Amino acid sequence: MAMSEKDLIKVVDLYKYFPIRTGVLTGIRSGNIPTVKAVDGVSFSIREGEIHGLVGESGCGKTTTGRTILRLIEPTKGQIFYNDINLTRLSKDEMKKFRRQMQIIYQDPFDSLNPKMTIRDIVGEPLEIHGIGSDSERRTMISDALQEVQLTPPEDFLFRHPHELSGGQRQRVAIARALILRPKFIVADEPVSMLDVSIRTEVLNLMLDLKTKLNLTYLFITHDLAIAKYMSDDIGVMYLGKLVEYGDTKDLLDDPDHPYTQALIAAVPVADISIKRGDIPIKGETPQPIDLPKGCRFNPRCPYAFERCFKEEPPLFQIEPGHGSACFLAEDFHGGKVQRGKMPS
């Protein structure tokens, strides 16, 4: 995917491998150290002011991708660009300057907030770390941040602790903490998955309003296709560390090409009418990331798998501009489209 003038984030061949601890003798005998390929050659870009959704089952590498982009986890290899600046070449001190422009909202608002700190101290901590403002200026900025996330009046929240708030209020505090430095890019890691269904929409709408007001760019990580459809301009689908499909949200969800994407859509509950259900039931269990199958990683669960799928790993084929699929069917059949229900001859 070529970088345009409007791309704020570009990820190029990003890898993150985690070594598995084994006994000394085991490592010597085998001649290598086993690794989990959490992120395995992922590439995508995010245009300024837009929301890129990243979806997939638990353990597919979504969260690791987001944290590696921010260098909260150091990449094994690959390149990460922010406004054409290669973040992977920056020292830790240089990277600290970019923390003001790149922030994260974590999944669990209770675990991510220090229970011993007041809301004022939690939201104001980034200002202290970066040496921004006097005491009086910080007080004003903290109050403004709480108002932006609709915790009003802010005086009612400043001296409370996280356990005194509801889950939705805690997540709003986490959002305020991320916004107080006025970043341009935010990784939102399953930001509503821990919240009651009744308040998810409120928080999602708040994030959309803030995106417009502050010209934010999001990497929105979720396992919920309905939420991805509601929030995202385009979507990338991950499976076992690989990006298996990407495209415009409407095109990808209305006409998915990769069998895994089709299977995810088929798994959407019938009551959720916001997504058109597919007709491919997903089967079997996800392979262990330390023992990946040869060839296409989805082949043990794919109803369309044929001989080539068990020998070669498919690259991302371009189906049409802006839409790609890592499936040999996308290359070989139906003019670049995987036709559901059709098996290769």
DSSP string, 132-153: -S-HHHHHHHHHHHHHHTT--S
Q: What is the DSSP letter of 103?
A: E
pLDDT of 165 over the 90 cut: yes
For residue 219, the cross-strand partners are 52, 187
Q: What is the mean pLDDT of residues 135-148?
A: 97
**Taking the model in full, what pTM does it have?**
0.89
What pLDDT does 30 receive? 55
In this prediction, residue 283 has a pLDDT band, given cuts at 50, 70 and 90, of: confident
Is 60 exceeded by the pLDDT of residue 341?
Answer: no
Residue 1 has pLDDT above 60, yes or no: no
Q: What is the DSSP string of 153-218?
A: SGGGTTT--GGGS-HHHHHHHHHHHHHTT--SEEEEESTTTTS-HHHHHHHHHHHHHHHHHHT-EE
Give me the mean pLDDT over the 203-231 stretch: 96
Percentage of the chain surpassing pLDDT 90?
A: 73
The position carrying tokens 């491919």 is 280
Can you state the percent helix, strand and coil of the chain, rounding each to 5? Answer: 35, 20, 45
- Cα–Cα distance, 93 to 339 (Å, whole number): 51
**Domains in the chain, please, with CATH?**
7-101+183-336 (3.40.50.300)
Q: For residue 266, what pLDDT is reported?
A: 84
Task: Tell me the mean pLDDT in the region 70-96.
Answer: 95
Residue 23: its pLDDT value, please? 58
